[in-house]
Amino acid sequence: MKRNVDHKNSGKNGACAPAPASYCALSLDVVIPTYNRRTLLEKTLLSLKSAIKPPGLEVQIIVVDNNSTDDTRDFMADCERTLGISARYVFERRQGRSSALNAGIAAGNGELVGMIDDDEEVGESWYQSAASAFRETGVDFIGGPYLPNWEIPPPEWLPSSYLGVIGWIDGGPEVAEYGDGFPGILMGGNAVLKRSLLEKVGPYNASLSRTGTRLLAGEDEDMYSRLLKAGARGLYLPDLIIYHHIPAARLTKSYFRRWCFWRGVSRGLLDRESRSQAAYLAGVPRWLYGQAVRGMVNKTKAAILAKSNAPAAFSGELAVWDLAGFFYGRHFYKAIA
């Protein structure tokens, strides 16, 4: 049930004016989609338990089991006794992160909807940052950085221009407004949005979500585009921190190649629905060709200089995988029914 807002402390655009002795009440649902990560999920829940909860913030944790075959269900049934954590368990049969997020959002009723992944741990001030933003700024959605929690040391070939592949996302040390001037998008693994906004723009697009071996990753980009088209105002908050587990399995060149290919497919699918303003060649934005050509030139130079494992060389190769994926997604990909 939604908490009543103290309108005496309410500011412009629905924000709550800061007050020394009273607080604008807020209710927050934290949705965590999970699939076969019971051990990591436990760390996620413990981080939420340890985070400082400001006065007046009511929190409901919603864990969405997306067809796990491990002991996730049993763990959730007993986590209040074993961990002292109260969390609502939701089972979503339809595979895919978007379907799980949509189920978790629908299961809650908080004024705010927060989303984190089951391989993340929130920073100590995560709740405080979220509450302050919605109480004081009149903002519609917020996001923050994803800092790496390495399972093994990162490889030397790791390209700085492709850190998003492993979920290392840092928009800088300053508060910034999302939009055309922001170098990135709102990612659904560290986000808080007004429920009324989600009801306005609609659910996540399940056809653009990762399932099985298909590493589609377009649901966040699609949602971000709809938020901005709806006129929503969002802020990137450098202190809304999550720590993202980076497993050894993702620190391989083969994973990077697959991820970039499927990101290209995702963007190609999005382009089917909403063509960009860029110049096109064979159904593909011409800048993608330019990026791929420059990438191969850099890779060739690195090979000549006997630095085939250098970050610049591998970055050049990945640009080609981006192009190949976009072309396939734009012209040939068929969604799984």
Q: Is the pLDDT of residue 264 over 70?
A: yes
Mean of pLDDT values over 37-63: 97
Count Cβ atoms below 10 Å from residue 183 Cβ, excluding itself. 8
d(CA 132, CA 269): 37
**Following DSSP, what letter does each residue of 223-270 receive, concatenated?**
HHHHHHHTT--EEE-TTS-EEEEE-GGGSSHHHHHHHHHHHHHHHHHH
Q: Which of the residue ranges 135-144, 152-161, 319-328 would you say has the lowest mean pLDDT? A: 319-328
How do residues 222-252 score in pLDDT, each as one tens digit?
999 999 999 999 999 999 999 999 999 999 9
How do residues 152-193 score in pLDDT, each as one tens digit?
999 999 999 899 999 999 999 999 999 988 989 999 999 999
Cα–chain center distance at 306 = 37
Of all residues in the chain, the percent with pLDDT exceeding 90 is: 63
Q: Where are the alpha helices (DSSP H) in the chain?
A: 38-50, 72-83, 97-107, 126-136, 195-201, 219-229, 253-273, 286-304, 311-331
What's the token pair of residue 110?
A: 């908080």
Q: At what angle do helices 311-331 and 253-273 cross, to 10 degrees?
A: 40
Phi-psi region of 84 (alpha: psi -120 to 50; beta: other; left: phi over 0): left
d(CA 334, CA 326): 13
pTM: 0.83
